[in-house]
Amino acid sequence: MEIITKQSPQGCNNICPTPPPLPGPAMNCRRKGSATKGNSCALTATRDLWDNLFDRGYRADVTIRTNDGGIIYAHAGVLGMASPVLRGMLKQAKGVGHKRLISIHGVQHDAVRVFIRFLYSSCYEQEEMKELVLPLLVLSHAFVVPQLKRICEQQLENSLLTLDNVVDVFQLSLLCDAPRLVLLTHRMILRNIKAVSATEGWIAMKRSHPALEKEILESMIYEEQMEKERIRKLNERKIYLQLYEAMEALVHICRDGCRTIGPCDKDLKDDQKPCTYEACKGIELLVRHFAGCKLRVLGGCIHCKRMWQLLELHSRLCADSGSCRVPLCRNFKDKVKKQFKKDEMKWKILAKKILSTKRIGGEPFFLSSKSISSY
């Protein structure tokens, strides 16, 4: 038995009404209780005319067959102007008399009806969109109706995408050339892989498209590796920033002095302003320990080893060792010429990374990152 919509092709040989104006931009239309302020009355009347033309099928010259024997009446002029694919189908369509017959199968009858109605008035009901968004996405792509396709994508992005349908939407977005939707659904799958892998959509995809499941799992592994690499680089950058701050504090103590510690020719006062160098307190403790430690000659103290390393690192960064107040700066500069090439390269790489992390372009007492490789 055929399913007939509420449309009925009616004709009147004596009266030919004025055709309605072209539809405006797409809207989520409500047929009842529409506002009538400003120009909205005209817009509402226009939409109503197009909806009535579709619903009543006045002088319809196209019959659309859908699944389960359903029939929808339409007008070739509207369909041809709204979709180049439908225009091509109408050129090849055969029919009886002035009526042409085309078929749209593969989706529900209601989805085809909502789709054809959108071609008339650029309107849709929110409840219908919520229920039929996936077949409407397929139809809008297959028949090249970009306006409806964008609406379907926006509806899915904003509210209709769930854990239960995300796998289906992901597959459809791949088939329908919707890259933004592919990205959003892919991220959602990766963030909720445990819950998504238990859904019917995942099980069906695993059974019908095992290669796609494999790609998703591989991308998940890749994302985990990228996240680990990102954390590693952040931690590495944090260390380089701490070393740079330690170099600043060391120069500050040896050149200017800081409250209770500094060069002999400086008059230090306890009531000085608080130090702005965060690493200053730690460097001060390290310098005091280095000055009084008895194990540093034998190399048995880890704190003194750290101080030696800071002094050597400073010499690598120092722009003018001749006037530098940091102890042993010139000695370490001379030592560089006698170092093995392998050790020298390690220090250069470390110095360059510290300066590039801070992104300085030539401090008063530090080299620029570009000049590290030249000395």
- Burial of residue 273, with CB atoms counted within 10 A of its CB: 0-12 exposed, 13-18 middle, 19 or more buried: exposed
Confidence of residue 141 (pLDDT cuts 50, 70, 90): very high
Span 66-75, pLDDT tens digits = 988 899 999 9
In the predicted model, what is the mean pLDDT of residues 24-47?
Answer: 56
In the predicted model, what is the mean pLDDT of residues 127-136?
Answer: 94
Span 195-241, pLDDT tens digits = 999 999 999 999 999 999 999 999 989 988 999 999 999 998 898 88
* Residue 79 pLDDT > 60: yes
15-38 as b/e: b if 16+ CB within 10 A:
eeeeebeebeeeeebeeeeeeeee
Torsion of the alpha carbons at 72, 74, 76 and 77, rounded to the nearest 10? -150
Kindly list the domain boundaries of the chain, sorted by start residue: 46-143, 235-356
* Residue 36 pLDDT > 70: no
Q: How high is the pLDDT of residue 189?
A: 94
How many other C-beta atoms lie within 10 A of the C-beta of residue 148?
24
**Tokens 């120092």 label which residue?**
318
Instruction: Give me the chain's average pLDDT, please.
Output: 81
* Residue 362 pLDDT > 80: no
Confidence of residue 29 (pLDDT cuts 50, 70, 90): low
* Residue 35 pLDDT > 50: no
Span 231-252, pLDDT tens digits = 999 998 898 888 888 888 888 8
In the predicted model, what is the mean pLDDT of residues 346-357?
Answer: 81
Confidence of residue 165 (pLDDT cuts 50, 70, 90): very high
Residue 84 exposure: Cα atoms within 13 Å on the Cβ side: 3
CA distance 330 to 276: 27
CA distance 24 to 312: 73
| CATH annotation of 235-356 | 1.20.1020.10
* Residue 372 pLDDT > 60: no
Q: How high is the pLDDT of residue 272?
A: 63
The CA-atom distances, in angstroms, between 20 and each of 29, 49, 99, 215, 363 are 17, 6, 22, 51, 73
Q: CATH homologous superfamily for 46-143?
A: Potassium Channel Kv1.1; Chain A (3.30.710.10)
Q: Which residues pair with 103 in a beta bridge?
A: 65
Q: How high is the pLDDT of residue 87?
A: 93
Strand segments, DSSP code E, in the chain are: 3-4, 27-28, 62-65, 70-74, 100-103, 123-124
* Residues in CB range of 272: below 8 A, 6 or more apart: 258, 259
In degrees and rounded to multiples of 5, residue 258 shows phi and psi of -140, 100
Looking at per-residue pLDDT, the higher value among 315 and 140 belongs to: 140
Closest Cα partner for 329 from 338, 337, 317? 317
* Residues in CB range of 204: below 8 A, 6 or more apart: 167
CA distance 304 to 30: 79
